[in-house]
Structure 1
Amino acid sequence: MQKIVFLDRATLAPQIKLARPAFEHELVEYGHTQADQVAARLDGATIAITNKVPLTADVIAQLPSLKLVAVAATGTDCVDKEACERHGIKVSNIRGYALNTVPEHTFALMLALRRNLIAYRDDVLNGEWQKSGQFCFFNHAIHDLGGMTLGIIGEGVLGQRVAEIAKAFGMRPLFAAHKGREGLGPLYTPWDEVLATSDVITIHSPLTPQTRGMLAMPEFRAMQRTPLVINTARGGLVDEDALVRALDEGLISGIGFDVLSSEPPGDDNPLMRIANRPNVIVTPHVAWASDEAQQALADQLMDNIGGFMRGAPVNIVV
């Protein structure tokens, strides 16, 4: 009998179905799990499922029965993978499920900001249309995506899909070379050139020690076209204090963020302090979360577990 424990089932919508594995098992689901509950809840478990609940080295050392950590997401920074490797525990993740949902959310943010949809909606609700005396009014600038240069940081499947959609809009997509590196081939445009020439910059990178804080004041000061900055990847990729300062100084023209450095954010988060501005859109880490994408994630999650138990593991990180 295999014991499977899902530590944070509430990170998937309630309508999303989890297929039951074919092998004999007990599945225990917790909506949420606090850090001091992890070890007790995984006691005796052979398979742990986590989306965002951290599995630290101290906890992993207390779980001799654990064989697999199945992460219900692409990013695995919540798991101490070196500790898992030391203890012979495999870690799997989810891949390719967000090919539509994240790029679509990315462009929803771009369109809303470039066309000032939030500001115009507020005007309509405040009666500005009625006061205008004509069929339309021009309180806020409206800009097309067509003809704009789109700087893409991150050349994985999501970055590639964003580039495809950008071309359909008539944009010119550029993949940024990795910060501090040159000579990476014809796919890439030098990092500094992307910063200097982009009208919109969108981030689709993993969060690693090398990418943490990759956009800060030096990068914002290098942006010559006051671009929109879009982030649907990870909050820690951007220095949030510097981001707000860049907006205040006119170095960038707008912010569309689906991810923050701490989630849920505290009231003192720099972006939460300015979230009511019309050129700032903050969404609660839902770019990945269309029903279609969530179900694909759930199906792949259980396939990962089934493959591991059959001796044919897939999507193994370590």
Structure 2
Amino acid sequence: MLKICVLDAKTLGEDAQLSVFDRFGTVEIYAETRPDEVVERIKDVDVVITNKVVLKEETLKDASKLKLICVAATGTNNIDLDYALKRKIAVTNVAGYSTMSVLQHTFAMLFYLMESLHYYDKYVKSGEYAKSSIFTHHERPFHELYDKTWGIIGLGAIGKAVANAAQAFGCKVVYYSTSGKNNNSQYERVELESLLKESDIVSIHAPLNNSTKGLIDYNRLRLMKRSAVILNLGRGGIIKEDDLARALDEGLISGAALDVLENEPVNSDNPLLGIKNSERLFITPHIAWASIEARKRLVDEIALNIEAFTQGKERNRVC
């Protein structure tokens, strides 16, 4: 039987059914784990489950019994993979569990901005609509998605799902490959500058790496149409937040929606929190991935990764 610990269960939600791990042995569940608590909590365990807690050489070196690290996410940048390989500690992740959740949230964010939903809801509930002499209200005109150009930065699994849905709405889809290696014959691949210039909607679904950090800066935001909207559901840091705040204040673009920020939770002095017209900006606290169904798939996949490991099989293994 294995000794398992979950280091940051709170990130999976209080409704997560972590009892699925009980069949493998004893399970210690921690809601959160501070950096100074990691060494003590993992020193005698066989399996560690972590979402965002960092596991580097200095925290892993005393975990002599550790055999498996299960990352409760797709990205593994919080794990020292080289050291894990050296120690023969297996590392697994979970890919694809949140695709439909992020797809749904992408369109929810877009429509909130594009159709001024906050304004119209407030207009009715404030009593202003009750005073109207006509049945409708045209203070905030909106456009259809049909026949617009949707530019996608990062055409992975999520990017492809968004592309398919955008196409169903009648959009022309173009994409930019952040790695330079993605060639998809279904959609037109363009250079980043061309994508920014011609797109009515730009959505980011890329990882944060040396190629994407600071990719969208003030000069590139200036290339966009003044009527355009940019959405970031990839990683914070891809858009330079100071530059985005400036572009929104100057009216260089119509709006922006972000589910990810460079620092999470957001810093209280983040320039985006103080822009002149806050209705141009919609921010959610990194929740696009976190539908009930997606989080259930995530936990179930982790359990399957542990099961495969106990049977000597490789499943979603990173190293």
TM-score tier by shorter-chain length is over 0.9
Query: Is the CA contact (8 Å cut-off) linking 1:182 and 1:190 kept in structure 2?
Result: no
- Report matched runs for 1:246-257 at 5 Å: 246-257=247-258
CA pair 17-134 structure 1, distance change in 2 beyond 3 A: same
CA pair 278-185 structure 1, distance change in 2 beyond 3 A: closer
Counterpart of 1:159 in structure 2 is 159
Query: Is the CA contact (8 Å cut-off) linking 1:207 and 1:236 kept in structure 2?
Result: yes
Unpaired stretches in structure 2, ≥5 consecutive residues: none
- Report matched runs for 1:70-85 at 5 Å: 70-85=70-85
Q: Name the stretch that deviates more: 170-179 or 144-153.
A: 170-179
1:116 maps to 2:116 = yes
Q: Name the stretch that deviates more: 308-317 or 130-139.
A: 130-139
- Report matched runs for 1:42-121 at 5 Å: 42-121=42-121
Counterpart of 1:138 in structure 2 is 138
SS in 2 for 1:264: coil
SS in 1 for 2:244: helix
Counterpart of 1:261 in structure 2 is 262
One-letter code of the match for 1:28? E
Number of residue-to-residue matches in the alignment: 316
Q: Report the CA distance between 1:56 and its aligned residue.
A: 2.5
For 1:150 and 1:217, locate their aligned partners in 2 and report how far apart those are by CA, in whole Å. Answer: 20
Q: Report the CA distance between 1:266 and its aligned residue.
A: 2.1
One-letter code of the match for 2:84? C
CA deviation vs aligned residue, 1:12-69 (integer Å, no higher than 9, x gap): 222221313644x211100111111111111111211111111123112232222221
Counterpart of 1:129 in structure 2 is 129
Counterpart of 1:278 in structure 2 is 279
CA pair 235-12 structure 1, distance change in 2 beyond 3 A: same
Query: Is the CA contact (8 Å cut-off) linking 1:114 and 1:145 kept in structure 2?
Result: no
| Identity among equivalent pairs (%) | 38
Query: Is the CA contact (8 Å cut-off) linking 2:102 and 2:288 kept in structure 1?
Result: yes
TM-score (norm: length of structure 1)? 0.93
Q: Report the CA distance between 1:132 and its aligned residue.
A: 3.1
Q: Report the CA distance between 1:182 and its aligned residue.
A: 8.6
Counterpart of 1:15 in structure 2 is 15
Counterpart of 2:293 in structure 1 is 292
One-letter code of the match for 2:6? F
Query: Is the CA contact (8 Å cut-off) linking 1:176 and 1:189 kept in structure 2?
Result: yes
CA pair 161-182 structure 1, distance change in 2 beyond 3 A: closer
Q: Report the CA distance between 1:83 and its aligned residue.
A: 2.6
One-letter code of the match for 1:167? Q
For 1:107 and 1:274, locate their aligned partners in 2 and report how far apart those are by CA, in whole Å. Answer: 23
SS in 2 for 1:26: strand
- CA-based RMSD: 2.0
CA deviation vs aligned residue, 1:231-278 (integer Å, no higher than 9, x gap): 112112211111111111222211111111111112112223349822
CA pair 155-183 structure 1, distance change in 2 beyond 3 A: closer
Query: Is the CA contact (8 Å cut-off) linking 1:2 and 1:46 kept in structure 2?
Result: yes
For 1:12 and 1:273, locate their aligned partners in 2 and report how far apart those are by CA, in whole Å. Answer: 30
TM-score (norm: length of structure 2)? 0.93
Q: Report the CA distance between 1:224 and its aligned residue.
A: 3.5
For 1:216 and 1:90, locate their aligned partners in 2 and report how far apart those are by CA, in whole Å. Answer: 38
One-letter code of the match for 1:278? E
Q: Report the CA distance between 1:197 and its aligned residue.
A: 0.6
For 2:68 and 2:126, locate their aligned partners in 1 and report how far apart those are by CA, in whole Å. Answer: 54
For 2:184 and 2:297, locate their aligned partners in 1 and report how far apart those are by CA, in whole Å. Answer: 33
Query: Is the CA contact (8 Å cut-off) linking 1:111 and 1:145 kept in structure 2?
Result: no
One-letter code of the match for 1:13? G
CA deviation vs aligned residue, 1:142-180 (integer Å, no higher than 9, x gap): 12111111111111111000011101111111111337x
Q: Report the CA distance between 1:101 and its aligned residue.
A: 0.7
CA pair 185-13 structure 1, distance change in 2 beyond 3 A: closer
Counterpart of 1:34 in structure 2 is 34
One-letter code of the match for 2:80? D
Regions of 4+ moved over 4 Å: 181-187
Query: Is the CA contact (8 Å cut-off) linking 1:232 and 1:258 kept in structure 2?
Result: yes
Q: Report the CA distance between 1:299 and its aligned residue.
A: 0.4
Query: Is the CA contact (8 Å cut-off) linking 1:8 and 1:50 kept in structure 2?
Result: yes
CA pair 185-112 structure 1, distance change in 2 beyond 3 A: closer
Unpaired stretches in structure 1, ≥5 consecutive residues: none
CA pair 274-57 structure 1, distance change in 2 beyond 3 A: farther
Counterpart of 1:233 in structure 2 is 234
One-letter code of the match for 2:214? G
